Structure 1
Amino acid sequence: SMIGHLLGAAGGVEAISTILSLHHQIIPPTINLDTQDLECDLDYVPHAARDVSIEAAISNSFGFGGTNGSLVFRRLQ
């Protein structure tokens, strides 16, 4: 984690991070990812942000006791 666990504020910080990614058109990196699992066919973004064209993004939050939520954000046209 880049900022630790913020308990009740974690979802808000994730939402702001998602909005900033849409605004700046970048995907933030997965820090400390040195070895990728070859069996997982995922588009990893290790160590450095990637410039991309993003039209929509989803922010998932998972809390204690099964409290979960998702927000979908889209760029204004």
Structure 2
Amino acid sequence: MSAMRKALAQARLAPEDIGHVNAHATGTEVGDAAEAHAITRVFGRATVTAPKAALGHLFGAAGAVEALIAVLSAQHGRIPPTRNLSSTGVDPRIALDVVTEARQATPHAVLSNSFGFGGQNVSLVIAPSR
């Protein structure tokens, strides 16, 4: 939660300025629930996508690849889907709008989360050039 709030502050943006969150979402029940809870505390019912469902976990490269996906999403106004998940498959305890089919959107700022072993937490705000 702290990393997301700091990223927003450094970007001088408010939570409502973010079009969607690119979640770290490793597909573990405990990890995904904790991240979903943190996202909800910062953004409320945010729109979220999780690229790992399509890519697998790329370990050290995961954050870089997901940041690139966020850049492309911000530039092109397209939110990629969370693959292999239907809207009925989302845990009802997760109060987020999980994207299960690609969506068009106006180009917007994206927040991308990446976490690592040992407590490494990074949140990047990526916005299209103005």
CA RMSD of aligned residues (A): 1.5
After TM superposition, the runs of 4+ consecutive aligned structure 1 residues lying more than 4 A away are none
1:25 aligns with: 77
The yes-or-no answer on 1:73 pairing with 2:126 is yes
Structure 2 regions of 5+ residues with no counterpart?
Answer: 1-52
Matched with 2:59 is 7
Q: Higher helix fraction: Structure 1 or Structure 2?
A: 2
Aligned identity (percent) is: 50
In 2, Cα distance between equivalents of 1:76 and 1:10: 24
Distance 2:67 2:91 in 1: 27
Relative to the length of structure 1, the TM-score reads 0.83
Is there any run of 5+ residues in structure 1 with no aligned partner, and where?
Answer: none
